[in-house]
Amino acid sequence: MRSGWELIHRHLDEHLDQGVFITDPRLQIIYWNRWLEKHSGHQAAAAVGRNLLEMFPDLASRGKDLYYQKALAGQMVLLAHRFHQYLLQMPPDIANHHLVHMPQSAKIVPLMEEDQVIGTITIIDDVSERVVREEELQSHIKRLKKTEETLRRSEAYYRSLIENTSDIIMVIDEEGMICFTSPSVERVLGYFPGELNYLQVRELIHPEDLPKFNEVLQILIRNPDTIFSVEARFRGQDGSWHTLEAIGKILPGRREKPEVVINCRDITERQQAEKERLRIVKLESLGILAGGIAHDFNNILTGILGNLNLMVMEPSLQDADRVRLNEAEKACLRAQALAQRLLTFARGGAPVKRPTDISKLLKETANLTLCGTNIKCDFFVPEALWLVKVDEGQINQVINNLLINAQQAMPAGGSIAIRAENVVVEEDAELPLPLGKYIPLPKGEYVKIAVADQGEGISPEIGDKIFDPYFTTKPQGSGLGLATAYSIIKNHDGYITMEPNAGQGSVFYIYLPALKDAIPFPEEEAIEPLTGQGRILIMDDEGIVLEVLSEMLKRLGFEVASARDGGEAVEIYQDAQGNGQPFAAVILDLTVPGGLGGKETLDFLKEINPQVKVIVSSGYSDSPIMADYEKYGVQGVISKPYRLPELSKVIHEVITKKQN
């Protein structure tokens, strides 16, 4: 038996890769295998016979002696490394700076003889490799979790950016199928997020914009490192078109099956504002030109009209000649109206605004314009309509233009509806009109006028061009009617827009600032020429104006001295003051090319005589002096061309006016 026991010992020593030791019931070691000799440093010869708890006192201090009591009571004991770290203190078998003791898991088994426990068998496993591997794995998992958290935060951050951007982020594949749209698609185009997924992007794009979109997309697919930029109209959920500025590039990392990420910005309003700006710039440049022409034209007309006026007053004139001269005078008046239209372009075809009952103006203009035509006009105007502060002549011209357009749109006859109502525009109000979605009106009270016809209407494509100067669809049209209307309304701080309604007639809308509590300006009385006496100094660079004005003043009973520019006028005025023959009044041309103009001359005259009575005359009605002459110390103004009655009235008013 002894040889059998020794044989078992030898086999255990040779083959076991575990530590094994056996104790008797008093925990005296009776077997200590070679693995333990190697790892614990205790030789079997020294260990056998010793008490386990004396040999390893930390077993008791760490409470591990309890497990031997359990084993001696017949229980199987398992000691997991994670709970116990180690059973016997041994140096680690692998180089690892974390390990102080060899990590172990252990089993303590009761050694039974029949039903009696005669000792314990302890089996120790070195779990160093496993523990190090698991620690490395844990460390790896920690890093992964941290990376995962960083990615999650990063993803949440970018998601938040995408969800909150005002632009639409859209991803399409190379065929144009939509793979993703950011939630802002709802705000911009009205579609639910995800509603457009798997749809063809081309279905959203305006047919006219498709060729350029296809072209840039193909270029991008062929040259994946480039970026495309294209403006195209996209259909909104409600069918409206939104101009989007789309900037696209190939989504990185998707080269196998290219996807394009497109950033779409709604530039509809910006574009509308830009069109508005260009329209204004165009009008301004035309206005300068028109103003210059009107000025020269008015000077010429002053000469013609004044002379005609004087000739008509000749008592010796034959009746037949008088008729012809009257016709010529009428032609001059029509030319004056044309010049006035040109001046309206000039920034101040400046309206001379007065509180006006617009309903009366609308009715009078419509009745006059449509008289004798096959067009019926219906008015829908409330009694309590607010007054507006307008230049009656200019607004008359606007309404007249709209009515003529309406009449021409209905060659077979029909009816025009004119509506007016009080409206309050709130801040940043968007008015429900296709072309007027963006209306640059400050908040306030307005009178809204609508002129609707029953014609063919205007196609939406040309709808936004109709206010451009020289744009016309009529073979004989000048393209100035609606441009003039636009300019006039703009100068009144109002807004004009239209609803195309192609096929159902068009509707023009005008907004004019309202005066809630004002009373209408009294109507002008008829003017008769008034004679007078005294000396009057006139200054104008146009010889024909000087000549006819001089003759007209003489006809009214005045003595006249004339000057070609401001310098000469100042000289004459000074001499007259010195000679005791002062002038009762001075009529100054406002604009003298290359010489001293009216405003500068006025300053010199005031130095000579602060009480000087000055009338300013000009072919430009947009000068600040003409609009607000009293502020400049001028007693009166008269716009060229003028007739004798108007001239006499102004002179009479100025001469009889007492100085402040």
Partner 1 sequence: MIISSEQKDSLLELINIGFGRAAASLSELTGQRVLLNVPQIVLCPMQEIQDHLKDLMQGKVATVHQMFSGPVAGEAILLLDYGGAVLLSGLLSECRVPVDRLDQSDQEVLTEVGNILLNACLGTFGNLLDIHLSFSLPRMQVETLDPLLESFTIGSDSVRYALLILTTFSLRDSTVHGYLILVLALASLDLLVQSLERLG
List residues binding partner 1 (CB under 8 A): 70, 74-83, 105, 107, 109, 112, 115, 127, 130-131, 134, 137-138, 141-142, 145
Residue (123 or 417) nearer to partner 1, CB: 123
Continuous segment of H or E residues that includes residue 40: helix 34-40
Pick the closer one to partner 1 by CB: 83 or 198: 83
Cite the DSSP H helix spans in 512-583. Answer: 543-556, 566-578
In angstroms, the CA 420 to CA 399 distance is 13
CB of 251 to partner 1, least distance (A): 32
The CA distance from 651 to 529, in Å, is: 10
Which amino acid makes up residue 338?
L
**Minimum distance from CB of 11 to partner 1 (Å)?**
21
CA distances from 325 to 311, 312, 314, 454, 646 (A): 8, 7, 11, 42, 19
Contacts of 289 (CB under 8 A, 6+ apart): 345
Task: In angstroms, give the least distance from the CB of 133 to partner 1.
Answer: 9
**Closer by beta carbon to partner 1, 141 or else 462:** 141
Q: 46 vs 78, which CB is nearer to partner 1?
A: 78
Nearest distance from C-beta of residue 98 to partner 1, angstroms: 13
Which residue's CB is nearer to partner 1, number 125 or number 646? 125
Nearer to partner 1, 137 or 289 (CB): 137
177 DSSP β-pair partners: 200
Q: How far is the CB of 54 from partner 1 (least distance, A)?
A: 25
DSSP-derived letter for residue 33 is: -
Supply the minimum distance, in Å, between the C-beta of residue 265 and partner 1: 45
Instruction: Round the CA-based radius of gyration of the chain to a whole number and report it.
Output: 51
Closest contact distance (angstroms) between CB of 128 and partner 1 is 12
- Closer by beta carbon to partner 1, 80 or else 156: 80
Closer residue to partner 1 in complex, CB, 118/310: 118
Q: State the number of CA atoms in the 13 A half-sphere of 479 facing the CB.
A: 11
Question: Nearer to partner 1 by C-beta: 82 or 474?
Answer: 82
516 touches 309 (CB < 8 A): no
- Closest CB to partner 1 among 7 and 112? 112
Q: Convert 475-513 to b/e letters by CB count within 10 Å (16 or more is b).
A: eeeebbbbbbbbbbbbbbbbbbbbbbbeeebbbbbbbbb
CB of 95 to partner 1, least distance (A): 21
Whether the CB-CB separation of 480 and 341 falls below 8 Å is answered with yes
Checking DSSP bridges between strand 414-425 and strand 375-380, what pairing results, if any?
A: parallel
Q: What minimum distance in Å lies between the beta carbon of 75 and partner 1?
A: 5
Among candidates 441, 379, 419, which has minimal Cα distance to 507? 419
Q: Which is nearer to partner 1, 84 or 249 (CB)?
A: 84
Gap between the Cα atoms of 166 and 267, Å rounded: 12
Beta bridge partners of 408: none
DSSP 177: B
* Alpha carbon 542 to its chain's center: 49
For partner 1, the closer of residues 104 and 272 by Cβ is: 104
Dist. CA 407–CA 347, nearest whole Å: 29
β-partners of residue 155 are none
Round to whole Å and give the CA distance between 394 and 397.
5
CB of 80 to partner 1, least distance (A): 4
d(CA 484, CA 470): 10
DSSP 386: P
CB contact set of 402 (below 8 Å; sequence gap of 6+): 451, 485, 508
Catalogue the E-assigned strands of 471-506.
495-499
Q: How far is CA 485 from CA 109, 250, 337, 352, 399, in A?
A: 109, 49, 15, 16, 8
| Minimum distance of partner 1 from residue 89's CB (angstroms) | 20
Count CB neighbours of 235 within 10 A: 16
Smallest distance, Å, CB 81 to partner 1?
6
**∠ CA 181-187-188 to the nearest 5 degrees?**
75
Beta carbon nearer to partner 1, 110 or 351: 110
Residue number, 121 or 221, with CB nearest to partner 1: 121
CB of 232 to partner 1, least distance (A): 49
Closest distance of CB 78 from partner 1, Å: 5
